[in-house]
Amino acid sequence: MPRSDRLFDLITILRDGRLHRAQDLADRLDVSLRTIYRDMDTLIASGVPIAGERGLGFMATAAITLPPLNLTLAELEALHLGMAVVAEAADDELRQAARSLAAKIEAVLPEGRTAPAAGWGFAVYPFAEAARGFQHMPGLRSAIRARQKLRISYRNAAGEPSERTIRPLQIEYWGRVWTATAWCELRNDFRVFRVDRIDRLQALPQLFIDEPGKSLADFTARQPPVP
């Protein structure tokens, strides 16, 4: 039996909430007692809520479980990229949850789909810059939909601060950072702001309408054609 299937079977057995002797589990899965102990260590280290110890038995405490899923490599990559983002951006509890979830997934991956040596995403993908701006994404999206002006505190590439009133027009992701395209009332022109350089964002009571030369279509028309 593949190890991933055996670990899933162990979780299925233990989820009844009863105490199970390790020898009974070994007999049921037709493996050695040593293998059961090793599998239990793997599950516990991965964050699966299992109580017990060798010589007494094991049982699962309350937990939320999901049905088996068949994931493609692309879906698995997307899942781990998402966990990497959470691990960079969220509070301590969610950071730990993301790492625990990654460990659980890696523990049950079939042979041939194991994680890269550097780990899935945490040390490979440069999400720190994008993560710093995630807190502003809901406000930006809401303002774009409502066509509402925003007041932002912004730092340029040199770290110099400025206060801007903007008309947000669109947000885009460039593989590493998010940007917000807007009409900047300070510069009286279009500007593309890196979201991770926004220190503070405040929705203003003023709404805006498209004006000649200040719309997203005008900004797009300025861009050089794609070769």
Which stretch of 4-8, 21-25, 32-36, 81-85 has the lowest confidence by average pLDDT?
81-85
Is 115 found in the same domain as 176?
Answer: no
**pLDDT mean over 108-135:** 53
Instruction: Tell me whether residue 67 is in a domain.
Output: no
The number of distinct structural domains making up the chain is: 3
If asked whether residues 90 and 47 sit together in one domain, one would say no
| Domain membership of residue 169 as a residue range | 131-222
Q: Are residues 137 and 209 in the same domain?
A: yes
> Does 189 reside within a domain?
yes
* Residue pLDDT, tens place only, 182-192: 999 999 999 99
> What percent of the chain shows pLDDT beyond 70?
72
DSSP 37-97: HHHHHHHHHTT--EEEETTTEEEE-S----------HHHHHHHHHHHHHHHHHS-HHHHHH
Q: What is the pTM of this model?
A: 0.50
The pair phi, psi for residue 155, each rounded to 5°, is: -115, 130
- Tokens of residue 89, six digits: 């951006």
pLDDT 10s digits, 160-178: 999 999 999 998 766 556 7
Average of per-residue pLDDT across 16-43 = 88
Most confidently predicted of 7-21, 105-119, 139-153:
139-153
Q: How far apart are CA 86 and CA 82, in angstroms?
A: 6
More confident residue, 1 or 187: 187
CA distances from 3 to 36, 39, 53, 184, 217 (A): 11, 9, 21, 57, 56
Q: If DSSP codes are grouped into helix, strand and coil, which group holds residue 123?
A: coil
CA distance 58 to 177: 46
Last residue of a domain, which of 125, 143, 159? 125
